Amino acid sequence: MEETSKVHEMEVHEAVISMSGYLPDEIDVGADFPLRFLVRCKSECSLDGGTIRVVDSDGNTAAEAAVSPAEESADDSSPASGAIAYRTEIFSVKAPVVPGEYTWTAFYSDSKKEDGGTEEPSTNSPEVSGIEHTGSLEFSLKIRAHLISISIWDVPMPVSTGEKFTVGIGAACSSGCSLAGQTLTIEDAETGKQLAEGKLGNEILGQTRATYWTMQELDAPSDEAVHRWTVRCHIPEGGLPHQAEGPDLVFRTAAAPRYTVTVKVSDDRDFLPLAGADIQLGLRKAVTGTDGAAVLKVPEGDQELVVVKMNYITHQSMMNIHEDSSISAALEYSPQL
């Protein structure tokens, strides 16, 4: 008797895929980032053992992950939220190495078995049930260059014209790349002219995750003005792309100090010394000690003296500085109610 074969028409069910959790707004080039997907069949079929395959913009498989029954969770939602949910474990995927916006796709398939395999079909497989599940989900990725955050500290205020001064400069990569020994350049923010060059040290700044730093010596301009300089950190070519961001180095230059001035501050009722009074003479600042005195180095010429102390009326006067001198300021008590 001739044996006949039966051809079963395959029934196709939609597998509805959603993302469990949230993608970062931006991802560093080449960085590993986590993904997790939910999948449901609207007909409430079992999808246990199925696979989510993530395909990049070029059609290459970036990752695969099996699905299994998901525990109930308030944050797991999809258009088929009434159906039984299946979920992948959290798995890691590597981002593209070129900045830009990409569209990737997650596909669901019923079995992890590759074409041509010899694995026996399960009771849920299309060969037995006559049901095939298909579904896909597109999602977008915004890939950015690694951000180098520049930080600047210990800027003298003011800086003496024509003299050398030192500032602290730090740089940290958003992906934790080593910046040890990388070149720094300092440029005029308006003209772009390079003014100095230095290198980051090999040590990470204390109490930071990955900030490499140096104390950079600079030459002050000869004019009295406010200056804005830009600090750049340069990464050797051939590695992953980086871009720097951070505040400019802003400082003011003033004539070099020539004379020493001692400011003595007291209460005008009993002339007892007042500690903790803020002193500003011209552009130089100081705070009085327990003896009510503060010593400042200042340039020659007319300069305004301002003395501020809580619960006292602020003292202001013009001083002509032409020699080492001592100045007294008696403040009037005026409590703030």
Per-residue pLDDT, 231:
96
Tokens of 267: 């209460």
Note the pLDDT of residue 44: 86
The pLDDT value recorded for residue 336 is: 77
Q: Contact 294/279 with Cβ under 8 angstroms?
A: yes
Residues paired with 54 in a beta bridge = 63, 106
State the pLDDT at residue 108: 95
Is the separation of the CB atoms in 28 and 15 below 8 Å?
Answer: no
Tell which residue, 283, 265, 36, has the closest CA to residue 157.
283
CA-to-CA separations, 154 to 151, 158, 166, in angstroms, rounded: 11, 12, 8
- b/e string for 148-174 if b means 16 or more Cβ within 10 A? bbbbbeebeebbbbeeebebebbbbbb
Domain 146-254 fold is: Immunoglobulin-like (2.60.40)
Q: How far apart are CA 123 and CA 119, in angstroms?
A: 13
β-bridge mates for residue 131, sequence order:
11
Buried b (16+ CB within 10 A) or exposed e, 44-69: ebebebbbbbbbbeeeeebbebebee
Per residue in 40-64, pLDDT (tens digit) is 998 888 898 899 999 999 999 999 9
Q: According to the model, what pLDDT value does residue 83 have? A: 62
pLDDT at 11: 86
* Tens digits of residue pLDDT in 208-251: 989 999 999 999 999 999 999 999 999 887 789 999 889 999 99
* Tokens (6 digits) for 247: 């505040």
- CB atoms under 10 Å from CB of 133, counted, come to 23
Low-confidence ranges of the chain (pLDDT < 50): 1-7, 74-80, 112-128
Residue 71 corresponds to which tokens in the numbers above?
A: 């525990």
Domain boundaries, the chain: 11-144, 146-254, 259-331
CATH class (in words) of the domain with range 11-144: mainly beta
The pLDDT assigned to 129 comes to 56
Helices (H), the chain: 126-129
Residue count (the chain): 337
Rounded CA separation 223/160 (Å): 10
Provide the 10 A C-beta neighbour count for residue 134.
12
Q: Do domains 11-144 and 259-331 have the same CATH topology?
A: yes
Tell me 9's DSSP state: P
* CATH no. for 259-331: 2.60.40.1120
The pLDDT, as a whole number, for residue 318 is 95
